[in-house]
Structure 1
Amino acid sequence: MPDRTELRLGEYESAPLGFEQLTPRDVDRLRALQAHGRLTLSPDRNGWRLKVDGTVGVLVLDRVRLVAEPKFAIPGEQLMSWLAYALGTPVPVTSRRWTTGPEGYADLVAAALLEQCEKLLREGLRRDYVRRQSLEPVLRGRLDVAAQATRRYGQLDQLHVRTFDREADIWDNRVLGSALKAALGLATGSDLARDLHGIVGAFPSAPTPAAALRALDRAHYTRLNARYRAAHTWARLLLRGGGVTDLLTDHGHTADGLLLAMPALWEAVVRRLATEAGALNGGLPETSSGRTAITVRGDLGNNSTFRPDLLLSLPRRDAARRTLLPVDAKYKRYDRHGISSADIHQLLTYSVGYAPTDAPNSVIIHPQPGGHRHRRLQVDGPQGRLGIIDVLGIDTRALPEESPAWIRSVLLQALS
């Protein structure tokens, strides 16, 4: 492996790079990532200026190894807990602090995959019946009469047979073999690399990473393979380079790295937090698409829609009625700054579209390192109350499982 300059940045931090540090291929890959909001690359007087947006992880370029560390919202020692919470998978026992290795996040995810794969090996890999066609000296399975007649011309020293045997070479295991190979290429810790190398041969692999991802996208879990769900979650994260189906938007531009878009992660966290908080009070998530979407028509181009990150249906004091509460995730420094006018307009639109006129409430949930915070915005006009926006700051230094009960207490107070 060629020597690479290591560049460490926090979220929304920037650093200069010389023209000679980026190859044309690097520039193309960085531009592709810039187009999808992962980072910003701009020309500078003496070269380039690279700025990391709301992204953490590792990016391996030809001459530079970029390590983007969590700085803004979720501290490194808690990142895996919040990521596991968003993914709905157990927190890895082997998860360590971000600062224990030069790659941080990449090594942590690789270690999480390794832990799950070792567990599956101890329990025994799942096997299923697989059809095979082979040339054998004795009859096994069923004789392929057509192949025997057309290829062997009546000779019986070798037999074309069709077998149907139980094997471990099935998609459940192949995707893990492909993910272990990807993890081995990213891991830098010597102990982790050794353990990955020792286990990768125990799993079959898919022909290509793209084939493994297609298999994961078609995954259906039953009681036979439910124990594979956590391992497949970490495998999907590695194979997509940080993108997770239904969690992060993946456009295929990973540039040999493992990048996690923090705003998308926070949206997934908020959806689960608010859903669990609402369930404590009999609430249910509602769809905000289709007929229930807020739609803009008549403008140039296609129709557009307004969709909150979560729409909760909550019971009112009279049990016969329910109220809709729009909830939106904001990965912004609202612990230090006031709510922007654009976000206020957005939440007021949600209130008008979904909340009852006598309770035009909506909720913003943002990360708040160092303790839960709640403040209330009241928006009034000459004709009366336009809306109430409850701003909830979630303590990201605590465990995520501790937050739904506090959110529930705030919502009960806000809707009373």
Structure 2
Amino acid sequence: MTPVVELVEHAPAVGLTLPEVVGRALAATRIVDASPDPYTPGQWLLRAGSKVGAVTITVPGDGSRSVTVRITPKVPITRLFFLLGYSLDPRGGWRDGQVDMAEQRDVLPALAHAVERQIDRALRQGLIQGYHSTDETAAVVRGRIREADQMRRRFGATFPVEVTYDEFTTDIAENRILRAAVERLLRLPGVPNDVRRRLLRQRARLADVTSLVQSQPLPVWHPTRLNARYHPALHLARAVLDGASADHAPGGLRIDGFLFDMNKLFEDFVTVALREALRGTALTGRLQDAHHLDEAAAIRMKPDFVLYGPQRTPLAVADAKYKAEKRGGFPDSDLYQMLAYCTALGLPAGHLIYAKGNAPHAAHRVRHAGIVIHQHALDLDQEPTGLLNSVTAISQQMHTN
């Protein structure tokens, strides 16, 4: 039986007795901090960081060993999926009631449930169709002849002919992405049996759609009026497929599961919410905006969010920090980083935005510089409306300083 390790995000280290090979495998993956207990032989100290979810790690070789790690987020599951949904689709995908999370306790079952429900809603009226371009070698002319390919491959022969044609079909990018997400979830351990059965029904609906090859780039889709009912499902499907799921790790270890990085999730939510708070104004916000610290443009920096005025003049800068790691308050290194941003952008103020931890709002005026660095704390235990109102208040402070 595969041992199960239960951890809580950013909680104190837990001591567990594990086989040496399993402990070293956990340390190699860096999913959690793992180190041998110096005082208790055979025991390992495990501490979860910002990654939450569930994975099963299998050590290869004769008598292979496996261990399942479940990391519970400190925020409720409903709040985690609000942060995710709003980041992906701030104008609709996060609305309460779209995905029922009331009975979900763990991240992976909740994710599988959410994806299946959204795909079911998307496909209730049938699969959407679109034009799919196909290159083919044919015995008859269909569509357009690819003249360059015909000359290169057929040396001037009339048949067979290299053609390109557009076919109106359900085998399009949107449906392929949905099928890929369903198949990914079906491969993961820990998906509840009832959700797995529903996912199998969704795969049957998508049976005529091409199955994507793992590790290949996902097909590109563009939001339109015709695929509007697919948008929430496609956004969640991309969350499943975009790199948070890992299949292999160093040393041939196999990882089956799904992890959210709460640092990235919080950063995405804060920056998207700040940008949305500016909607309808003459101001704009740019995410991960690239700048340089030095005049020679050798030292690159990318603040999470830069606020610009009508003439594309920088007005304020912000960085999102999920956790304050220092017992006495916010880390000093964050202040130094923000000071560099403000100096390079010529700004009188900067804003650090944290998930609420052990320190209240603070403001620091830098000596001999006149720069004020604000440190804000967002309470993630608030209901969505209150949380968005808090971000709006920070946005207003940023462009009124």
Structure 2 length-normalised TM: 0.76
2:186 aligned residue: 184
Is the 1:141–1:164 Cα contact (8 Å) retained in structure 2? no
The amino acid across from 2:86 in the alignment is Y
Q: How far did residue 200 of structure 1 move?
A: 1.3
1:100 aligned residue: 104
The amino acid across from 2:73 in the alignment is P
Percentage identity across paired residues of the two chains: 24
Equivalent of 1:388, from 348, 372, 396?
372
1:271 partnered with 2:271: yes
Find the aligned partners of 2:394 and 2:233 in 1 and give their Cα distance: 36
Equivalent of 2:198, from 195, 198, 209?
195
2:156 aligned residue: none
Cα deviation digits, residues 219-239 of structure 1 (max 9, x gap): 333444344332222222222
- For the residue of structure 1 that corresponds to 2:255, the secondary structure is coil
- For the residue of structure 2 that corresponds to 1:61, the secondary structure is strand
Find the aligned partners of 1:281 and 1:166 in 2 and give their Cα distance: 41
For structure 1, the residue ranges without an aligned partner over 5 or more in a row are: 147-160, 244-249
The amino acid across from 2:386 in the alignment is E
Find the aligned partners of 2:312 and 2:137 in 1 and give their Cα distance: 66
Q: How far did residue 58 of structure 1 move?
A: 0.6
Pair 49,341 (structure 1): closer, same or farther in 2 beyond 3 Å = same
1:59 aligned residue: 55
The amino acid across from 2:194 in the alignment is D
The amino acid across from 1:275 in the alignment is R
Cα deviation digits, residues 344-377 of structure 1 (max 9, x gap): 1111122222244xxx11111111279xx96332
The amino acid across from 1:209 in the alignment is Q
Is the 1:17–1:49 Cα contact (8 Å) retained in structure 2? yes
Pair 295,31 (structure 1): closer, same or farther in 2 beyond 3 Å = farther
Find the aligned partners of 1:335 and 1:394 in 2 and give their Cα distance: 17
Alignment of 1:7-406 (within 5 A): 7-13=5-11, 14-20=13-19, 22-23=21-22, 27-28=24-25, 30-31=26-27, 33-34=29-30, 38-44=31-37, 45-62=41-58, 63-71=66-74, 74-88=75-89, 90-91=93-94, 93-97=98-102, 100-101=104-105, 104-129=106-131, 131=134, 165-186=167-188, 187-203=190-206, 204-211=209-216, 214-216=217-219, 218-240=220-242, 242=244, 253=249, 255-279=255-279, 282-286=282-286, 289=289, 292-295=291-294, 303-314=298-309, 324-333=315-324, 337-356=328-347, 360-368=348-356, 375-381=361-367, 383=368, 386-406=370-390
Q: How far did residue 380 of structure 1 move?
A: 4.2
Q: How far did residue 77 of structure 1 move?
A: 3.2
Q: How far did residue 260 of structure 1 move?
A: 0.6
| Greater mean alpha carbon deviation, residues 389-398 or residues 181-190 | 181-190
Aligned Cα RMSD in Å?
A: 3.9
The amino acid across from 1:208 in the alignment is V
Q: How far did residue 410 of structure 1 move?
A: 4.7
Is the 1:75–1:396 Cα contact (8 Å) retained in structure 2? no
Pair 365,380 (structure 1): closer, same or farther in 2 beyond 3 Å = closer
Find the aligned partners of 2:287 and 2:201 in 1 and give their Cα distance: 46
Cα deviation digits, residues 98-131 of structure 1 (max 9, x gap): x735xx1111111221122212221221223555
Q: How far did residue 205 of structure 1 move?
A: 4.4
Find the aligned partners of 1:164 and 1:225 in 2 and give their Cα distance: 19
Pair 21,193 (structure 1): closer, same or farther in 2 beyond 3 Å = farther
Find the aligned partners of 2:382 and 2:203 in 1 and give their Cα distance: 35
Pair 220,335 (structure 1): closer, same or farther in 2 beyond 3 Å = same
Q: How far did residue 412 of structure 1 move?
A: 4.4
Pair 377,286 (structure 1): closer, same or farther in 2 beyond 3 Å = same
Find the aligned partners of 2:187 and 2:295 in 1 and give their Cα distance: 47
Is the 2:77–2:104 Cα contact (8 Å) retained in structure 1? no
Pair 60,361 (structure 1): closer, same or farther in 2 beyond 3 Å = same
The amino acid across from 2:125 in the alignment is E
2:61 aligned residue: none
Pair 407,354 (structure 1): closer, same or farther in 2 beyond 3 Å = same
- For the residue of structure 2 that corresponds to 1:398, the secondary structure is coil
Pair 171,279 (structure 1): closer, same or farther in 2 beyond 3 Å = closer
Pair 296,108 (structure 1): closer, same or farther in 2 beyond 3 Å = farther
Find the aligned partners of 1:21 and 1:228 in 2 and give their Cα distance: 47
Q: How far did residue 404 of structure 1 move?
A: 4.3
- For the residue of structure 2 that corresponds to 1:100, the secondary structure is coil
The amino acid across from 1:352 in the alignment is T
**Aligned length, in residue pairs:** 361
Equivalent of 1:6, from 4, 24, 33?
4
- For the residue of structure 2 that corresponds to 1:209, the secondary structure is coil
Q: How far did residue 93 of structure 1 move?
A: 2.7
- For the residue of structure 1 that corresponds to 2:361, the secondary structure is strand
Is the 2:9–2:73 Cα contact (8 Å) retained in structure 1? yes
Q: How far did residue 334 of structure 1 move?
A: 7.6
